[in-house]
A = this chain, B = another copy of it.
Amino acid sequence: MRGTIYVVSGPSGAGKTSILKEVLKKIPNLTFSVSYTTRPKRPGEIDGEDYFFVSKEKFVELVNSGEFLEWAEVHGNLYGTSKSFVESKIEKGINIILDIDVQGALSVMKKLPDAVTIFICPPSFKDLKKRLDNRGTEKEKDRERRLKDAKWELSHISDFQYLVVNRTLNESVKQLEAVIIAEQLRVDRIKDHMGLQDFFKESDNDVCDN
């Protein structure tokens, strides 16, 4: 059975990354899709784990070789989702979670209509501003751009399947976890991939044969 692709998106500063980190610890058979980026590494980030950090030249090379499922310029930096990375995981039956900006998520949805899409948004615009201030890594110009982009991004909530309003980390982790577990139980998904008959056989089940 092929793995499921979960696309998590939302404005910068909504708290996506913290939620994802906790969820990845809790759910077995779920892995994080490592993207390519040209943006500078932030303190604490690890190359090949948080992102593959590459130069603009290298990024353009990867674009030309068709390596990206989607790529986009966000806040002046390039971000790209590795097609080969994602495909190798789902072919092995591993579920994969993509953390991408709204623009990228919208193009992935068109290419991968089976993907499960989750929008994470802050409880208020005021809260979003505060989170960007607390991050402390933003220049004033970058901060203003992020807030402007957030307005456009929030207008696309209804293109997503699920909405998590990030009030507290614990609650949001529980909600994202619930979406991931529930989607694994969808009869449509099980049926599409291998048929219920096979599902029962695989789970050592003789219900359908009796």
Q: What is the interface of chain A, defined by CB distance below 8 A to chain B?
A: 119, 121-126, 128, 151, 154, 157-158, 160-165, 174-175, 177-179, 181-183, 185-188, 190-191, 196, 203-210
CA distance in complex: A154, B172 (Å): 35
**Contact of A207 with B154 in the complex, beta carbons under 8 Å:** yes
Cβ contacts under 8 Å, A181 to chain B: 174-175, 178-179, 182
Residues on the B chain within 8 Å of A203, using CB: 123, 165
* Majority secondary structure, A binding face: helix
A209 to nearest B CB, angstroms? 8
The reply to whether B187 and A163 contact each other, CB–CB distance below 8 Å, is: yes
Cα-based distance from A125 to B208 in the complex (angstroms): 8
Residues from chain B with a CB closer than 8 A to the CB of A160 are 187
Select from chain B the residue with minimum beta-carbon distance to A186.
Answer: B162
Q: Which residues of B contact A164 (CB under 8 A)?
A: 185
| Cα-based distance from A209 to B125 in the complex (angstroms) | 9
Can you name 14 A-B pairs with beta carbons within 8 Å?
A123-B204, A124-B204, A126-B206, A158-B187, A162-B185, A163-B185, A163-B186, A163-B187, A165-B203, A165-B205, A178-B182, A179-B181, A179-B182, A179-B185
